[in-house]
């Protein structure tokens, strides 16, 4: 048997693999990497005037869940939402209701990932902010590791740019 062609092909394959960008062999897609439950660490809104806000407070609570079938759910809240004095959601005072609306957001629906642009596209099917119903919301991933996810919302409805940081739920 003539081994020369087999050795030549093996050498060519090895050279080709060596020239690929580092990490390209066996690298998971972004969609595969984000699957699961992520716990919010911070949510910062950078306003056009250079100021920053923390709509969900300095210690926000919440999750972002991605399922393999392309579904998602998000719920973010302040850690100090007021308890309702009357104990009945339907009878909240105007101040109580306003604090809850200003300090929380939740939505769910389907999502896709634009791999080349490192963008998650949420299609909202339900939301606590009805003006967003049925819209596509884009989030640009700025960091993704096994245990950390950061993305930006460049088109926040309340103005400016929002950056959200998560850690993987354990």
pLDDT tens-digit series, residues 33-88:
999 999 999 999 999 899 999 989 899 999 999 999 999 999 999 999 989 899 99
Assigned domain for 107 exists: yes
Evaluated on CA atoms 54, 56, 59, 61, the torsion sign reads negative
Assigned domain for 60 exists: yes
Q: What is the percent of the chain where pLDDT is above 70?
A: 85
CB 139 within 8 A of CB 130: no
Q: Which of 89-93, 145-149, 159-163 has the highest mean pLDDT?
A: 145-149
Assigned domain for 76 exists: yes
Tens of pLDDT, residues 130-155: 999 999 999 999 999 999 999 999 87
CB 77 within 8 A of CB 62: yes
Evaluated on CA atoms 12, 17, 20, 22, the torsion sign reads negative
In the chain, the number of structural domains is: 1
Assigned domain for 139 exists: yes
Number of H helices and E strands in the chain, helices first, is: 3, 9
Assigned domain for 44 exists: yes
Q: Is the pTM of this model over 0.95?
A: no
Q: What is the pLDDT of residue 20?
A: 44
Q: Work out the pLDDT band at 1, boundaries 50, 70, 90.
A: low
- pLDDT exceeds cutoff 50 at 9: no
Q: Work out the pLDDT band at 2, boundaries 50, 70, 90.
A: low
Q: What is the pLDDT of residue 80?
A: 92
Rounded to 5 degrees, φ, ψ at 17 are -65, -40
Assigned domain for 84 exists: yes
The residues with which 41 forms a beta bridge, in sequence order, are none
Assigned domain for 20 exists: no
Assigned domain for 118 exists: yes
H-run or E-run covering 102? helix 94-102
End-to-end CA, the chain: 55
> Residue 134: which domain range?
28-168
How many residues are there in the chain? 170
- pLDDT exceeds cutoff 70 at 10: no
CATH number of domain containing 39: 2.40.128.280
How far apart, in whole angstroms, are the C-alpha atoms of residue 161 and residue 170?
29
- Joined tokens for residue 45: 């809104």
How far apart, in whole angstroms, are the C-alpha atoms of residue 82 and residue 96?
7
């Amino acid at each position: 048997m003539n081994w020369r062609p087999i050795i030549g092909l093996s050498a060519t394959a090895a050279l080709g693999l060596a020239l690929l960008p580092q990490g390209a062999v066996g690298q998971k897609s972004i969609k595969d990497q984000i699957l699961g439950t992520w716990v919010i660490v911070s949510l910062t809104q950078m306003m056009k005037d250079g100021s920053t806000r923390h709509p969900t407070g300095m210690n926000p609570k919440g999750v972002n869940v991605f399922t393999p079938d392309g579904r998602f759910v998000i719920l973010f809240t302040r850690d100090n939402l007021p308890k309702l004095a009357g104990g009945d959601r339907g009878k909240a005072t105007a101040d109580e209701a306003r604090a809850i609306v200003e300090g929380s957001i939740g939505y769910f629906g389907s999502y896709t990932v634009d791999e080349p642009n490192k963008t998650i596209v949420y299609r909202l099917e339900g939301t606590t902010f009805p003006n967003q119903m049925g819209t596509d919301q884009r989030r640009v991933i700025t960091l993704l590791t096994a245990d950390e996810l950061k993305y930006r919302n460049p088109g926040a409805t309340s103005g400016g740019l929002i950056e959200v940081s998560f850690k993987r739920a354990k």
